[in-house]
Amino acid sequence: MKKRLTIALVAHDHRKADMVDWCYYNSDFLAKHHLVCTGTTGHLIQQSFLDKGINAEVTCMNSGPLGGDAEIAAMVVRHEIDLAVFLIDDLNPQPHEADIMMLLRQCRVHNVPIACNRYSADLMLTSPLWDNEDYVPTKPRYERFDREKFDELYGKIKS
Ligand SMILES: O=C(CO)COP(=O)(O)O
């Protein structure tokens, strides 16, 4: 890949081991890009890369419950994040649920690819679209439903 990406990596406590293991598995790829993480996730990734002698640029924001998700969401809004991996603990409640929802929502609104499990994350990293200069991601359309307009668009999509 020619472009250096900024990749957001976030993991809840029960998913941190999974995140570090995933980072090791993809370390060749990740070491070429800029990693932006919530505080604890970032420090764990930094340390585990150091332990294996892997050089990577890791920026740590605040810890999630103290605003780390919100800081990364703001970067998404400013188009500073190219893709995100967010390993969420779906089995336990989080005190900062509102911030988690905000990060997920802003990724959807701003068309930032976000993977919430390792399988999706692996598929995302290995997509040939990263190197396809002709590929332009289609932005989400938010418009009031209008039957006539829909039929016109559907006609175009079908043909
Ligand atoms: O809570 C988190 C994401 O919502 C993760 O934050 P930490 O990486 O600081 O644990």
| Assigned domain for 153 exists | no
The CATH number assigned to the domain holding 121 equals 3.40.50.1380
The CA-to-CA distance between both ends of the chain, in Å, stands at: 34
What pLDDT is attached to residue 143? 87
Q: Is residue 116 part of a domain?
A: yes
Is residue 87 domain-resident?
yes
What is the predicted pLDDT for the residue at 8?
99
Inside any domain, residue 159: no
Residue 144 falls within a domain, yes or no?
no
pLDDT of the residue at 24: 98
Q: Ligand 1 mean position to 117 CA, how many Å?
A: 16
Expressed as residue numbers, the domain containing 26 is 6-134
> Under a CB-based contact definition with an 8 Å cutoff, are residues 122 and 26 in contact?
yes
* 71 in contact with ligand 1, CB cutoff 6 A: no
What total number of domains does the chain contain?
Answer: 1
Angle between helix 16-25 and helix 39-51 axes, rounded to 10 deg: 40
> What is the per-residue pLDDT for 102?
98
| Residue 159 in marked binding region | no
34 part of a folded domain: yes
- Give the model confidence (pLDDT) of 116-132 as tens digits: 999 999 999 999 999 99
The answer as to whether 86 is a domain residue is yes
Mean pLDDT to the nearest integer, 130-144: 94
Residue 41 assigned ligand-binding role:
yes
Within a domain: 22:
yes
Probe ligand 1: pick from 12, 23, 48, 71, max atoms within 8 Å of CB? Answer: 12
